[in-house]
Chain A
Amino acid sequence: ETGVTQTPRHLVMGMTNKKSLKCEQHLGHNAMYWYKQSAKKPLELMFVYNFKEQTENNSVPSRFSPECPNSSHLFLHLHTLQPEDSALYLCASSQDGGGNQETQYFGPGTRLLVL
């Protein structure tokens, strides 16, 4: 299943580095999501974009900066991260971000380690 792809799959960065995560969906969807998944914790919704407009920002620190240039691509720009930001970052997409039977489709994630 290659409906939602993410690069890189693994990333190690220092606290002073700047890096970007990329997500691309090939499903013709209009909504895209960034989630943070830490061990033994529920998925944490970070950002939602619907038709390229940000519709949700769940009090995410400004060291995480999303960008959605079009409905197929989503980026997460990272700078001056902290070790507690180490986690699996998942991208997902859905048809239009609403509706009763909206199903989200996930990418494989980027495993991030901040040293």
Chain B
Amino acid sequence: GQNIDQPTEMTATEGAIVQINCTYQTSGFNGLFWYQQHAGEAPTFLSYNVLDGLEEKGRFSSFLSRSKGYSYLLLKELQMKDSASYLCAARDSNYQLIWGAGTKLIIKP
């Protein structure tokens, strides 16, 4: 079956760095997405990786290793507003998105 695993919850300190891991098992692979979702709001697109390596976008970076079925989202210089859920989703060979349950990130002062 197809599956996405990511930690349920993480806690980090304001100003620090946090890495949210995601492992995936899909029938074929056509890219991996990260979304941010604040409580009660829409998921918003953060990043997309289809090739191995690191994609940097400001304070956020996303890494992909296709051979390992693994991705991570790296958040630097954490701010209180980064408290949210982070959703990992992999696209399979039919271009269907397979979603993880999300990682709730709690930022403490």
**Chain A residues packing against B (C-beta within 8 Å):** 1, 4, 40-43, 45, 56, 90, 97-109, 111
Contacts and interface: CB of A to CB of B under 8 A. Distances in A.
A20 B96 CA distance: 26
Interface residues of B, number: 25
16 contacts: A1-B44, A40-B102, A42-B101, A43-B89, A45-B96, A45-B97, A56-B96, A100-B50, A101-B48, A101-B50, A104-B45, A105-B45, A106-B35, A107-B42, A108-B40, A111-B40
A106 to B, nearest CB: 4
Given A100-B30, A101-B31, A4 B42 contact: yes
Nearest to B41: A108
B33 A106 contact: no
A98 B99 CA distance: 17
A9 to B, nearest CB: 9
Contacts of B8: 40
